[in-house]
Amino acid sequence: MAAGWLFYEAFKAMPIGVALENLEGQPLFVNQALCSMLGFSEEEMRQKHCVDFSPGEDAEKDWALFQQLRAGAINHYSLDKRFIRGDGSIVWGRLSISMLNSDGLHLVVAMVEDITEKRLAQEELQRSEANLQKLTGHLLRAQEEERARIARELHDDINQRLALVTVRLDRLKQDAFGSTTEFRRELTDITKQADELAQDIQALSHRLHSSRLDQIGLAGAAANLCRQVAEIEGIQIECQAEEIPRHLPKELSLCLFRVLQESLQNAAKHSRSRKIRVALAVRSGEIQLAVRDWGVGFDLGQALAGDGLGLASMRERLKLVGGELYIESERACGTVVRASVPVRIS
């Protein structure tokens, strides 16, 4: 008798919401914590069924599990669900249900922890992450639009003006046929410098916005990029592309092209490797890019924690098209950068 009284007093004093229900889901005893949480008196709660406390979708999930419990298929379950308070407001609770079998008496013990604040914090975090991803997308698109604008200006204005200077200098050299050898040599040097400058600006234009990506597709643009970097850096770059579709979604092609640019730049600048291998392939519904060097390697954790935006930019770009980035690096053994993006090949 004393033990029963102590149990009942402990039941009433528990800070977490607790109810004893029959096998039909009808509350028999409810402690004060649960009454306060849901805004009902104990008598009001006894007049309700367990599914009456939640919106339809949540109630259906709870009742399906309750039936499995009653049938003996499971002996306990837990789920996070919404509860409707007496004033119509919603609270979130973590419901834990278990069977109580004692002396032929079959009851259900329901415990409810108020997790409203935790849930609201999680939802706010998810909204913040979604907003951050949306903002990142806007920033990357704005960056590409700015790159395209600068590329047009470089190609249509500055490059044309430099070409005109080169032509005029060439004509001046021809008109000065009777001048001194030194004068002609100087004009030749100026013409050469102006021509090299025009080529450098044209190369910059392609790096900012590769029109060839639209014209010849990802595989062709990747091969051209590898050749350009190899010539500029004086290293060997192998590029293999296996049956990459010519026409891919523009955002997908541009994403992988930028990841390749960043990977080649990092490898050429930091790895000290004289050889780089690039592979593009379609595997299991994905386009996979791998950039491998045999250089000095680096500490991935330090790189991710540093101020550089290269790795973060690649990861964010891939996230926007549903892709993923994998990096393996080992000191004195080199680095492999892998990117995979799902694609539907018709």
pLDDT in tens, 8-65: 566 676 778 888 889 888 898 888 889 999 999 989 988 888 889 999 899 999 999 9
What is the CB neighbour count within 10 angstroms for residue 8? 12
Per-residue pLDDT averaged across 277-303, rounded? Answer: 91
State how far the Cα of 44 lies from the Cα of 47, in Å rounded to an integer.
5
- State which of 97, 114, 131 marks the end of a domain: 114
**For 180-196, how does the pLDDT look when each residue is reduced to its tens digit (9 = 90+)?**
776 677 777 777 777 77
pTM flag (> 0.85): no
Long-range contacts of 95-104 (CB under 8 A, 24+ apart): 95/62, 97/65, 97/66, 97/69, 99/69, 99/75, 100/20
Per-residue pLDDT averaged across 113-134, rounded? Answer: 84
Q: Are residues 166 and 58 in the same domain?
A: no
| pLDDT of the residue at 132 | 74
Confidence of residue 197 (pLDDT cuts 50, 70, 90): confident
Sheet of strand 324-330: strand arrangement: 236-242, 275-283, 286-293, 334-342, 324-330
Q: Are residues 19 and 125 in the same domain?
A: no
Tokens standing for 123?
Answer: 């939802």
Tokens standing for 138?
Answer: 């806007």
Q: Are residues 94 and 138 in the same domain?
A: no
Q: Are residues 70 and 97 in the same domain?
A: yes
CA separation (Å) from 150 to 75, 143, 157, 160, 299? 67, 11, 10, 14, 35
State how far the Cα of 342 lies from the Cα of 65, in Å rounded to an integer.
36
- State which of 152, 185, 209 marks the end of a domain: 209
Confidence of residue 177 (pLDDT cuts 50, 70, 90): low
| pLDDT of the residue at 1 | 47
Domain that holds residue 343: 212-346
| pLDDT of the residue at 3 | 47
Residue listed under structure tokens 């799902």: 342
| Of the candidate ranges 5-9, 219-223, 280-284, the one whose mean pLDDT is the lowest | 5-9
| pLDDT of the residue at 80 | 92
| pLDDT of the residue at 157 | 66
Q: Are residues 221 and 346 in the same domain?
A: yes
Per-residue pLDDT averaged across 299-315, rounded? Answer: 72
Per-residue pLDDT averaged across 263-289, rounded? Answer: 93
